[in-house]
Amino acid sequence: MASIPHQALNPPIRTLLGPGPSSIHPRVQMAMSAPLVGHLDPYFTSLMDDTVALLRYVFRTQNKLTFPVSGTGSAGMEAAFDNFLEPGDVAVIGVNGLFGERMVDNAQRTGATVIPVTAEWGKIIHPEDIEKALKSQKKVKLLSLVHVETSTGVLQPLLEASKLAKQYEALYLVDTVTSLAGHEVAVDDWGIDICYSGTQKCISCPPGLAPFTVNQKALDTLQKRAQKVKSWYLDLALLSAYWVTGRVYHHTAPVSMIYAIHEALAIIAEEGLEARVKRHLKNGAAFHAGIEAMGLKLHAEAGHRACSLTTVRIPQGVDEAKVRQGLLNEANIEIGAGLGPLRGQVWRIGLMGYASSEENVVLLLNELEKQLTRQGYRPEPGAGVAAALGVLRAA
């Protein structure tokens, strides 16, 4: 057995302004290197308690079962569908982007019937379309929406749909992967029954965990399941016994990642959730103004644009991949490409968590201008930065 060649770990220093992961605070970076303890160590279980309390604060919920799933945001999505749907159930799911489509795939794998409510990629799902779908079925078990569609940058209104879910006695499930701790999310006040997120967006923690919360009404439906939950790893009854009721061993918790999310949540609590949301809104608005001042177009429907994730339409004649590569190679800035039908149509730009700063708004608009100029698209020099600063000064 000869050994095999491998590189020494030496990552470049990037500014992460794509669809995630976002740049993280140095305190979160350091947290993962804290001394490893066992997952049943009294120190670790006290940190679990803290993490649960901090997550309740961020989700704005009193839900007992509030914890990070030991997998990325997509594992959170799977936990949601896998526990609350089974063969014979009907789910109404909003689909206006890739993550809505993924919800449909997840829901179908449970054996449930899915009624998709579609809208163009870049538009919101309309409440009247949701109601039509709910009305069309004898009994809908679950209504599901994505708060911020990471593929389109659309911010979905959630309140009217919540009322509809109550009216038609369906569980209300919301994906807050790209909104939690960036946009306002109020699980209890908004009547959300099941909610999951990811760590690597506005929470600014490395990817690897999925914050999750579910209320008692939803949990009570688990008693009525005809079949066991398909997934042992994501079975909420087992996870609840570990996280909430008795520290009953389930799987080995990812200790170092829990250190990271604990630190990231602590930073959020110290900043304050309201202040954090205001910061995201302000920097997002400034960036949008800067983009439009450069003569570029925002893809998402006006009035429903997320501040955490922005889709910018690629101007004609511009090689979008060259712009991304130029930003990466010359300025160490990562932005994202379009997905699915928006491939080659948009860039996806994140201003999330620690990365949502005046500094990054100015940095990105300036570097983007340089790359666009090189591609023959010549915005008025400095117009983007000036417009963004105007918004920031007025705020």
Name which of residues 16 to 45 contact a copy of itself (CB under 8 A): 16, 18, 20-21, 23-24, 29-44
- CA 72, distance to chain mean position in Å, is 10
| Helical spans, DSSP H, in the chain | 26-31, 42-59, 73-84, 98-109, 127-135, 159-167, 216-222, 236-240, 255-271, 273-293, 320-331, 358-374, 383-394
Tell me the closest approach of the beta carbon of residue 271 to a copy of itself, in angstroms: 9
Q: How far is the CB of 105 from a copy of itself (least distance, A)?
A: 6
Q: Could you say whether residue 278 binds a copy of itself (CB under 8 A)?
A: no
State both tokens at 276. Answer: 């954090």
382: left (phi over 0), alpha (psi -120 to 50) or beta: left
Token duo for residue 380: 């008025």
Q: How far is the CB of 333 from a copy of itself (least distance, A)?
A: 10
Peptide bond into 21 cis (omega under 30): yes
Contact between 207 and a copy of itself by CB under 8 A: the answer reads: yes
Q: Judged by CB under 8 A, does residue 386 bind a copy of itself? A: no
- Minimum CB separation of residue 256 from a copy of itself in Å reads 4
| Positions 120 through 179 that interact with a copy of itself (CB under 8 A) | none
CA–CA dist 133, 139 (Å, integer): 11
Question: Which residue in 12, 246, 303, 317 binds a copy of itself (CB under 8 A)?
Answer: 12
Residue 302 touching a copy of itself (CB under 8 A): no
Smaller CB separation from a copy of itself, 269 or 394:
269
The footprint of a copy of itself on residues 49-108 (CB under 8 A) is: 50, 53-54, 57, 60, 70-75, 77-78, 82, 102, 105-106, 108
Residues 182, 176 contacting (CB under 8 angstroms): no
In whole angstroms, the minimum distance from the beta carbon of 161 to a copy of itself comes to 24
What's the CA gap between 181 and 58, in Å, rounded? 6
In this chain, which of 170, 192, 255, 294 binds a copy of itself, going by CB under 8 A? 255
